[in-house]
Amino acid sequence: MILHCIQARFGYLLVGLIFIAVIGLCEGGLTSSYVRSNGLSSDMPLDSDVFRVPPGYNAPQQVHITQGDHEGRGVIVSWITPNESGSNSVLYWAANNQIKKTAIGIVVKYKYYNYTSGYIHHCTIENLEYDTKYFYEIGNGDVTRQFWFVTPPRPGPDVPYTFGLIGDLGQTYDSNRTLTHYELNPMKGQTILFVGDLSYADSYPFHDNTRWDTWGRFVERNAAYQPWIWSAGNHEIDFVPEIGETKPFKPYTHRFFVPYKSSKSTSPLWYSIKRASAYIIVVSSYSAFGMYTPQYKWFTNELSKVNRTETPWLIVIMHCPMYSSYVHHYMEGETMRVMYEPWLVKYKVDVVFAGHVHAYERSERISNIAYDVVNGLCTPINDDSAPVYITIGDGGNQEGLVKEMTEPQPRYSAYREASFGHGIFDIKNRTHAYFGWHRNQDGFAVEGDSLWFHNRYWKSMGETSTAVL
Ligand SMILES: *[C@@H]1O[C@H](CO)[C@@H](O)[C@H](O)[C@H]1NC(C)=O
Ligand SMILES: *[C@@H]1O[C@H](CO)[C@@H](O)[C@H](O)[C@H]1NC(C)=O
Ligand SMILES: *[C@@H]1O[C@H](CO)[C@@H](O)[C@H](O)[C@H]1NC(C)=O
Ligand SMILES: *[C@@H]1O[C@H](CO)[C@@H](O)[C@H](O)[C@H]1NC(C)=O
Ligand SMILES: *[C@@H]1O[C@H](CO)[C@@H](O)[C@H](O)[C@H]1NC(C)=O
Ligand SMILES: [Fe+2]
């Protein structure tokens, strides 16, 4: 923090530096000088290699997996068969064990205006061994397809684990670059935390849902092998009463099943999971979240349930950022901030990841919870119990980057840059995690921004270190 100020304002006198150190925050962080071209990236055409339909009659396509229980011993396998329902089962076996087991799933379908979906299969495999590679097979006869995944280690405080962060992906050439960079990043993400806005099918006339199918085929190359932890963005709402589509989130909730019941949630739009040393809470920016609502009741209760001795890393993901200093979507997250920020601080959440704003930004550890309408205290202040807020809505969709920033850069904003990219949150042990942001223009290993995280809970318990923020 102090070092950062020194770097940013090395021209100041020592007296100035001491003053800055005392007030704790320098006036604004870093705005990257990196400037993107204005060219908007277009969606990849329907005949692109990434959208290819797997060969064979009724072959399973759009295969993707996510965590299937609360602890990490379950996996939900989802896929679509285009012509008929076909087999509902998943055959699976551990790589070190030839005994094959079968899990039986369900199939759903939906209509959207004049589009009819294929047969959407969801099959939950339970009671897997921790930290084990499994193969799985879906489909019938000559269109059987085989994939694999690795289960996470048993939850525990010092279990290293590496999460990837992707948001607002879409299906443009830039989206493909982001996914490729994630795949080739030597940090090797093991699970993606996806911060909402998936396919952008809603940018087509009548929300042409065939663009949901192309998106499913595009991400299969990664999502069939490692879990993507889903959260819903505004492009998942698909609410178009003019054409009779009055049920929000219809395509999203049919296509992406999540284990919400295992965290006692009543909606797939908010839920939690444990994974290795992390406790991940997904909230919905576009569902009622005020006092007395189901989400509020669940969220506030959920925070108090987290055992930081077991899972020290408390991560919250949502679509709309609470702190963003870009002009586009400015203050859209303000209502949720007012309601939820005191809880994030009280329970010492380590980091909040959001998307929505098509750029990258990282905050200082700040809070803004003192305001009570009449006292005038409405400026964020340094807060050691507060999370770092990271906006990572720079996956690459066709709406392009947002470059217009509020000026001057607010003091709470540590780093901001309008470039496409992805993030890696690499947990080392109960006290340390390393975050890196990777822009698509750079080599796979290059970090455009990075930060050592010092676990909020263990820091508050007196564990000390001078090396990190
Ligand atoms: C199976 O479904 C696909 C996609 O809808 C279609 O292109 C293909 O013609 C169908 N095959 C048969 C034999 O009906
Ligand atoms: C759905 O309706 C639109 C607009 O009338 C039309 O362009 C499109 O071809 C239709 N699609 C199907 C699958 O019927
Ligand atoms: C997408 O990226 C993959 C992997 O880099 C590449 O093989 C493929 O050709 C790309 N497709 C398009 C349409 O850019
Ligand atoms: C929290 O987790 C630790 C480690 O797994 C366990 O020993 C302890 O009993 C748990 N505490 C509660 C209150 O469940
Ligand atoms: C935790 O990880 C950090 C970073 O790798 C390391 O410096 C520290 O010594 C580790 N702590 C323990 C208790 O191993
Ligand atoms: Fe969005």
Which structure tokens are listed for 263?
């965290």
pLDDT tens, residue by residue, 377-429: 999 999 999 999 999 999 999 898 999 999 999 999 999 999 999 999 999 99
Whole-number pLDDT of residue 40: 72
Q: Is the pLDDT of residue 467 over 60?
A: no
| pTM listed for this prediction | 0.93
Which residue's CA is the nearest one to ligand 4's atom 11? 307
Candidate of 174, 177, 180, 184 to mutate for ligand 3, largest count of ligand atoms within 8 Å of Cβ: 180
Whole-number pLDDT of residue 90: 98
Q: Is the pLDDT of residue 279 over 90?
A: yes
pLDDT tens, residue by residue, 121-177: 999 999 999 999 999 999 987 899 999 999 999 999 999 999 999 999 999 999 999
Residue 181 CA to ligand 3 centre (angstroms): 11
What is the arithmetic mean of pLDDT over 214-227?
A: 98
Over the chain, what is the mean pLDDT? 92
Whole-number pLDDT of residue 468: 43
Which residue's CA is the nearest one to ligand 5's atom 14? 429
Residue type, 48: S
**Nearest-atom index, ligand 1, CA of 58:** 1
Query: Rounded to whole angstroms, how far apart are CA atoms 53 and 185?
Result: 27
Candidate of 429, 450, 452, 468 to mutate for ligand 5, largest count of ligand atoms within 8 Å of Cβ: 429
Proportion of the chain above pLDDT 90, given as a percent:
88
Cβ proximity of 149 and 136 under 8 Å: yes
Ligand positioned closest to the Cα atom of 118: 1
Active centre residues (catalytic):
329
Q: Is the pLDDT of residue 464 over 90?
A: no
Whole-number pLDDT of residue 37: 67
Q: Is the pLDDT of residue 17 over 70?
A: no
Whole-number pLDDT of residue 463: 64
Residue 82 CA to ligand 1 centre (angstroms): 7
Which structure tokens are listed for 332?
């859209």
Ligand positioned closest to the Cα atom of 80: 1
pLDDT tens, residue by residue, 28-83: 799 998 777 666 789 999 999 999 999 999 999 999 999 999 999 999 999 999 99
| Ligand 3 proximity of 180 Cβ (cutoff 6 Å) | yes
Residue 209 CA to ligand 6 centre (angstroms): 18
Residue 310 CA to ligand 4 centre (angstroms): 6
